[in-house]
Structure 1
Amino acid sequence: MTDGYSIVHPADVPAEQFNTCETTVRKLTAPLGATELRVNQVVIEPGEVTTPHTHEGQEEVFVSMDGGQISLAGEVHDVPAGGVVRVAPETVRNLCNHTDETHVWLAFGAPPVGTVENFGSYVVEES
């Protein structure tokens, strides 16, 4: 990493399990040296669903690397490969996979509220 840019291959960053579900995440913020946003790679295996949540004061953008599904305010949306989804802080969201294929997403959150470890002001929605 230099002062002006950085390049990271997600496979070089250890995968961790989310603390609220079985899905794995690679936290790319620190390896990239990002200071104005959070960056994560999320891998959703068939049948997996991340925890419905919001982020207080943090907008998120999700990029589907190879096609995927996202639930927004309780409604599941199919997203094509390369599709981009913006989610307002107060909108309940979660990634889901009701297919037989693995889905890979890049997630960007700004501003970078909270800490890298706690994904910002992560608010788990009660069912």
Structure 2
Amino acid sequence: MKKIEPIAENTNYTAVNMGSLDEIKDHSLIHPKTQQLIEGKVFLKESTKSTGTEISFNTLPPKTELSYFHIHTNNEETYIFLKGSGDFQVDEDCFPIKEGSVVRVSPSGVRGLRNSSDEPMVYMVIQSTEGSLGKYTTEDGRRVDHESKWSL
């Protein structure tokens, strides 16, 4: 089983290495609710000490489907597809997805997916509380003068 490796940490950050996209399949975990072994999935909230999002990287073998449909109570999910292709279903709507597809699903949307390709599907899921994002990107950011520590 592959482990997340710490890179660096200080008051304002935590940096980790989960490995390459091809190595996600080597991660596994015991699902906290079902107690089932899940292979090809890595959650990052705990290792990065995140307080506002849960991010997971996932693999789905060729010609398989996620073994369950699900909803959430509070959190919306954004799925970002990095490799492979297939179909995504939300409620009664089913549509094709492929590398580069991005799907946001509200908490009450019943969701599931399948990999119809001949290669492993790799995707990330970002989970956050619906409606919690106030100011963001350029509205929240502010430039500051700061000296870089890397050499050119």
User: TM-score under structure 1 normalisation?
Assistant: 0.72
Q: Is the 8 A contact 1:55 1:89 kept in 2?
A: yes
Find out whether 1:16 has 2:29 as its counterpart. Answer: yes
Change (3 A) 1:36 1:54: same
Structure 2 residue corresponding to 1:90, chosen from 85, 108, 131 = 108
Per-residue CA distance 1:42-92 (angstroms, 9 max, x = gap): 101012211100011110011111243322224432223232210011111
Question: Which protein has the larger Cα radius of gyration, Structure 1 or Structure 2?
Answer: 2
Deviation of 1:28 (Å): 1.2
Larger deviation, residues 24-33 vs 51-60: 24-33
Distance 2:107 2:83 in 1: 25
- Aligned match of 2:98: 80
Change (3 A) 1:26 1:34: same
Distance 1:9 1:76 in 2: 34
Find out whether 1:58 has 2:75 as its counterpart. Answer: yes
Change (3 A) 1:55 1:22: same
The higher-RCO structure (CA 8 Å, 6+ apart) is 1
- Aligned match of 2:58: 42
Q: Secondary structure at the match of 1:31?
A: helix
User: TM-score under structure 2 normalisation?
Assistant: 0.62
Deviation of 1:17 (Å): 6.0
The number of aligned residues is 112
- Aligned match of 1:7: 15
Structure 1 residue corresponding to 2:117, chosen from 92, 96, 99 = 99
- Aligned match of 1:122: none
Q: For structure 1, which runs of at least 5 residues remain unmatched after alignment?
A: 113-127
Change (3 A) 1:8 1:94: farther
Larger deviation, residues 100-109 vs 7-16: 7-16
Find out whether 1:110 has 2:128 as its counterpart. Answer: yes
Distance 1:21 1:99 in 2: 24
Per-residue CA distance 1:19-58 (angstroms, 9 max, x = gap): 4686531111111211111111110101221110001111
Distance 2:93 2:39 in 1: 20
Q: Which amino acid aligns with 1:54?
A: I
Higher strand share: 2
Q: Which amino acid aligns with 2:127?
A: G
Q: For structure 2, which runs of at least 5 residues remain unmatched after alignment?
A: 1-8, 131-152
Larger deviation, residues 27-36 vs 13-22: 13-22
